[in-house]
Structure 1
Amino acid sequence: MKNYKLLITYLIGVIIIFAGIMTYIRLDNDRLIPKNFYRHWSQDYVVTKDNYAYVNTTPQKTRGTALSEGQGYGMLITAIAAKHGYTDKQSFDRLYRYYLDHRDNINGEPTELMSWKQTVQDNSITIEKNSATDGDIYIAKSLLMAHELWPQDKRYLVQAKAICLDILEYEYNPKNQMLTVGDWANSKSDYYNLMRTSDVTPGFFEEFYQVTRDKTWLKIKDKMLTYLNQLSNHNKSGLVPDFAWVKNGKAVAVKGKVTGSKYDGDYYFNACRVPMHLATTNSPLAKKTLYRMLNFFKKQQTITAGYTLSGKSLNDYQSPVFSAPIFLAVMNNKNKNYDQLFQSQQYILLDNLSPTDYYSATLTTLVALLNHK
C-alpha cells in the first residue's frame, strides 16, 4: 500500500512537471511565432536606405514598388513588433520618414495623405499622384500606436491628427457620410459614390474620434457599417463585394470591372480584409455582419481564394490573404461555435511566409502580431 501511494505521488508529480513543460513550450511558441514572422517579413519586404525605409511590394524584381497601403501595413506591423520588443523606434521612424517624404499634392498644394505608388529603380523614385484611402487609414492608426509607445515624441500624435484632418478634407463624401476610395474620387469624379468595403475600419474610426473629438468619425463609422450590413443582407452567403455604389442611402455591389479587376463585385482581394476589420469593434451591427460571414465560412469544406456573392468559389486554392483575416476574427470571437473554423485556418501560423507574395505575407504577419497578447 505504501509503495502504491508513492507511485501515485510520483505519477502526479510527473504529470505536473509535464504540464508545466507543455505550458512553457506553448507560451514560448506563442512568442516565437510572431517574432519569427516579423523577422522574416522585415527581411523579405522592408528596404532600408540611409535614414528611410519602405515596404517593397514587388520583392526579387529589378524595380521596387512602394504602395501607401504597404507603407501603412508596414508602419503598423513595426509599431506592434516594437511593443513586443522585436524591433525599435528607429525602425519605425525610417518607415515614417519615407511616408513624410512621399505625401500627395492636390493642385500644387501639399497634403498629409500619401501618394499611392512609387516605383524605385537604382537611386531614382517615380511618384504617381493621388492617394488611396486604405493606406492613409493604416498610416494614421500606426501613428496613434507609435504615440502610445513613445509619448515623449510629440510628432506622432500631431501627424496622426493632421492626416485624419486631411482624410476628412479630401477622402470624404459628406452626402453619403462615407470615405471615398482616394483623394482623386472627388465630387467631380464618377467614382465619388464608390465605396471600398475594406475601408470600413470601425475600430480605427473610434480611435480617430477619441484623438480628434470630431464626431464626423462616428458618423462615418455608423454609416459605413450600415452600408456594409446592407450589402451582406443582399445575399444568403452574407459576403460583401470589394466595391459598392452608394446612392440615396443604399449600397449595391458594383457589376464587373470598375477599378482594375473583373472581380470588383465579388468577395475578392479587397473585401477579404473585412472580417479582420469588423473584429476590431464591439459594435452590434459590425458583429451582426461579421457573424453572417463567419457562418458562411464555417460551412465550407475548404475556404478558397475568393467567392461570388452567392457563395460560389472563384478559385480552387487556399490563400493566407483570405484565411488570415478570418483567423483573427475567430480568435477575437471565441466561444461562438467557430472551433472548426479555427482549426482549419490556423495553418497560416504553421506555414512559412512567402518571400515573394507581399500581400499574403503582410496580412499573415499582421494577424500573428495582433493575435499575440
Structure 2
Amino acid sequence: MRIRIFTAALVAAAATLVSCSSEPDLAFSGSPTELPHAAIRPSASQDERDQALVDFYQAWKDEYVHDDCGDGAFQIYSPDAAYPFVSEAQGYGLTIAAMMSKADPDAKGLFDGLLTYVLDHPSTRTPDLMAAEQDSKCNDKAGGDSATDGDMDIAYGLLLADSLWGSDGDFDYRDLAGKRINAVKAKTVNTSSDLMLLGDWDTAMDAGLYATTRTSDWMPYYFGVFEAATGDDGWSTIADAHQQAVADLQNSDTGLLPDFARTTDDGIQAVSGKVLETANDGDYSFNACRVPWRLGTDALLTGAESSTTAARTIDAWFRATTDGDPGKVGSGYRLDGTAEDADPANAFWAPLAVSAMTDPDGQEWLDALWRKLAENDVERGNYYGDTIQLQVMILLAGRYLTV
C-alpha cells in the first residue's frame, strides 16, 4: 500500500455505498476455528465475540463496499489512501468475504463481485497480478503496476474460495490462485535477498529500491500456504530469509520494525528519511503497524519460533509502556520507542490484540484490547484502520479460515 492521505475532500467524494441495512441479522454456523498455538484467548464468551464481529462487519460493509465501476463488480473503497480503490483493499475484501461466509449468506456474491473487479484491472507489467491503484472513475493510475501486499491477500482469498465453494463455477479459483502465487514469486521477490519487493515495478535497474522491502509485506503464514498450494519449495527459502530479516532488524528492546528496510553488504537496516512514502519510512509507522498482526497470525497458526518471539517482544513492550491501557497506544514510533504521535488509531492498537494472544502472561492486556475492539465503531473515512480492525476481530473470534 502506498502513501495514505486523510482529507475531507476524498471522504466527501464517496460514491453511493452498497447498502446492507436490509440484511437480516448475521450469525455464525459451525464451530470456531482452532488457533492451535494461541497461549491465551479473550475472556469474552464465543457468543459475545461473534456478535461483536458481525456487528462490526455489517457496519464495515455499509461504509466501504461500493459498486461504482459496473460489470457486476464490487470494490472496497479506500478514501484515506492515495486513490479511492487500491489492490490492498480488494485483497482485504476477498479474504474478509471468504472468512465471513459462515455468517453472511451474501458473502460469495461479494467475493465474486470483488474478484470481477480485480480481474478487470490486471497489472500492465504482469497480467496475473493486479494494478495497484484506480481513481474514482475506475481508471488505473500510477502506471498500472502492482503492489505486493494486495496480490498476496488476493491469492490467499482465492485459495479460501476454492476450499469453500470449489472451482467448477463461474471462476476457477484454484487456477487463478496458482497463477497469482507464481506471479508473486516471479515478479515481487528480490532474487538476491529473497525478500519481498514493493511491486512488479521494482526492478534491479533501480538498485536502491530493489534492495528496499516493506515489512508489512512479510507474511510468513502465507509463504507456507503458497508452498503447499503450488508444490514450489522455493517458498521455504523465502520464508527462511524473512525469519532471519525479522531477527536481524527487530529492535531488541521494543521489538519494533520500520515501515521500510534496505539490504546492503552489511546486512539489513531501517531506511533513513523518505524513501517511498513519508519522512517516517524508517520508523514504526502506518505500514509497520500491521507487523504484530502478520507475525502474530503465523505464530498462532504455525507456532513458528521466530514469529512467536518477535510478536511477544512487541507485545511485551507495548503492554509495559502503556501500563496495560490500549488507549495509550500512539500512532507512530521511532524504533527506540519514542512516540511520534500520541493520538490513538485503530490501525496501531488493534493489531496488538493478535500479538497479545501469543503471550501467556498478558490476559488482562488482551481482555482490555478486546473490550476496546468490541466498543469501537466504524468511523467514516477510516478504511485502513477499520479494515485492519475487522481482520483482527476475525482472528480473536476464532473465525479465521485456513486452507
* TM-score normalised by length of structure 2: 0.80
Q: Displacement of 1:86 after TM fit?
A: 5.3
Letter of the aligned partner of 2:129 in structure 1?
Answer: L
Q: Distance in 1 between matches of 2:174 and 2:266?
A: 34
Report the equivalent of 2:269: 252
- Match for 1:89 among 108, 115, 119? 108
Deviation sequence 1:236-264 (CA, Å, 0-9, x none): 22211000001247210001111111110
Q: Distance in 1 between matches of 2:242 and 2:339?
A: 26
Give the SS at the match of 1:246. strand
Report the equivalent of 1:361: 386
Give the SS at the match of 1:279. helix
Identify the structure with the greater helix proportion. 1
Q: Distance in 2 between matches of 1:364 and 1:72?
A: 15
Report the equivalent of 2:232: 214
Mapped pair 1:330 → 2:346: no
Deviation sequence 1:131-163 (CA, Å, 0-9, x none): 110111111111111111112436111111101
Q: Distance in 2 between matches of 1:89 and 1:300?
A: 43
Letter of the aligned partner of 2:93 in structure 1?
Answer: G
Q: Distance in 1 between matches of 2:309 and 2:107?
A: 38
- 8 Å contact 1:200–1:225 — kept in the other structure? no
Mapped pair 1:228 → 2:246: yes
Q: Distance in 2 between matches of 1:328 and 1:86?
A: 27
Give the SS at the match of 1:172. coil
Question: Which of structures 1 and 2 has the bigger CA Rg?
Answer: 1
Once the two structures are superposed, the pairs formed by residues 1-373 of structure 1 within 5 Å of their partners are: 26-48=45-67, 49-58=70-79, 65-85=84-104, 87-106=106-125, 110-121=126-137, 125-128=139-142, 129-153=144-168, 155-189=172-206, 190-233=208-251, 235-248=252-265, 250-281=267-298, 282-301=303-322, 302-331=328-357, 333=358, 336-346=360-370, 347-373=372-398
Count of aligned residue pairs for this structure pair: 339
Letter of the aligned partner of 1:199 in structure 2?
Answer: D
Moved more, 110-119 or 244-253: 244-253
- 8 Å contact 1:176–1:249 — kept in the other structure? no
Q: Distance in 2 between matches of 1:344 and 1:91?
A: 32
Where does structure 1 lack aligned partners over 5 or more consecutive residues? Answer: 1-24
Give the SS at the match of 2:53. helix
Give the SS at the match of 1:112. coil
Give the SS at the match of 1:221. helix
Could you say what the CA RMSD is over the residues aligned between the two structures, in angstroms? 2.0
Q: Distance in 2 between matches of 1:208 and 1:50?
A: 30
Letter of the aligned partner of 1:127 in structure 2?
Answer: K
- 8 Å contact 1:241–1:253 — kept in the other structure? yes
Identify the structure with the greater strand proportion. 1
Distance change (3 Å), C-alpha of 1:205 and 1:249:
farther
Q: Distance in 2 between matches of 1:179 and 1:126?
A: 23
Percent identical pairs in the alignment equals 29
Q: Distance in 1 between matches of 2:351 and 2:267?
A: 26
Relative contact order higher in (CA < 8 Å, ≥ 6 apart): 2
Distance change (3 Å), C-alpha of 1:64 and 1:274:
closer
Q: Displacement of 1:371 after TM fit?
A: 2.2
Q: Displacement of 1:370 after TM fit?
A: 2.4
Q: Distance in 2 between matches of 1:207 and 1:84?
A: 24
Where does structure 2 lack aligned partners over 5 or more consecutive residues? Answer: 1-43, 323-327, 399-403
Distance change (3 Å), C-alpha of 1:133 and 1:361:
same
Deviation sequence 1:287-307 (CA, Å, 0-9, x none): 111111111111122211111
Deviation sequence 1:77-104 (CA, Å, 0-9, x none): 1111113335331110000110001010
Q: Distance in 1 between matches of 2:190 and 2:375?
A: 42
Letter of the aligned partner of 1:214 in structure 2?
Answer: D
- 8 Å contact 1:57–1:358 — kept in the other structure? yes
Give the SS at the match of 1:298. helix
- 8 Å contact 2:312–2:355 — kept in the other structure? no
- 8 Å contact 1:298–1:340 — kept in the other structure? no
Letter of the aligned partner of 1:201 in structure 2?
Answer: M
Q: Displacement of 1:348 after TM fit?
A: 2.0
Q: Distance in 1 between matches of 2:59 and 2:249?
A: 37
Deviation sequence 1:273-328 (CA, Å, 0-9, x none): 11111122221111111111111111122211111001011111211101111112
Q: Displacement of 1:270 after TM fit?
A: 0.5
